[in-house]
Amino acid sequence: MGSKLRSLKANISSLRLEVLFQSIEPGQAAEKLRQDLDDLQARKSKMSWEYFQSLRLIFGPSRFQMVQEFVDSWEPEKGMPYSSTEPPNSGSPRVSR
């Protein structure tokens, strides 16, 4: 599923660029491109939602809640929310990939 999302993101980025170019060229109709962009963004949102629902089923309610809290607290510009090998208030180590 991750590769599908990456592919959609790449398509959205290139389509956004094309919409921008179309919008600054006089006389160009960009409505079709804008509709394509809206459609891709809707597909990305739906795919993301489906992915998170599958994670909810895999992790179970309590573990998924922990993941959700982690993601909600994460500020990417500051790095990881914690730097130890296990999350705060957790008795089990993090799973390494």
The band of 80, judged by pLDDT with boundaries at 50, 70 and 90, is low
Instruction: State pTM to two decimals.
Output: 0.48
Residue 78 has pLDDT above 50, yes or no: yes
Comparing CA positions, the residue from 9, 29, 27 lying closest to residue 19 is 29
The band of 57, judged by pLDDT with boundaries at 50, 70 and 90, is very high
Rounded to an integer, the average pLDDT of 48-67 is 89
**Domain boundary assignment for the chain:** 2-78
> What integer pLDDT is reported at residue 97 of this predicted model?
42
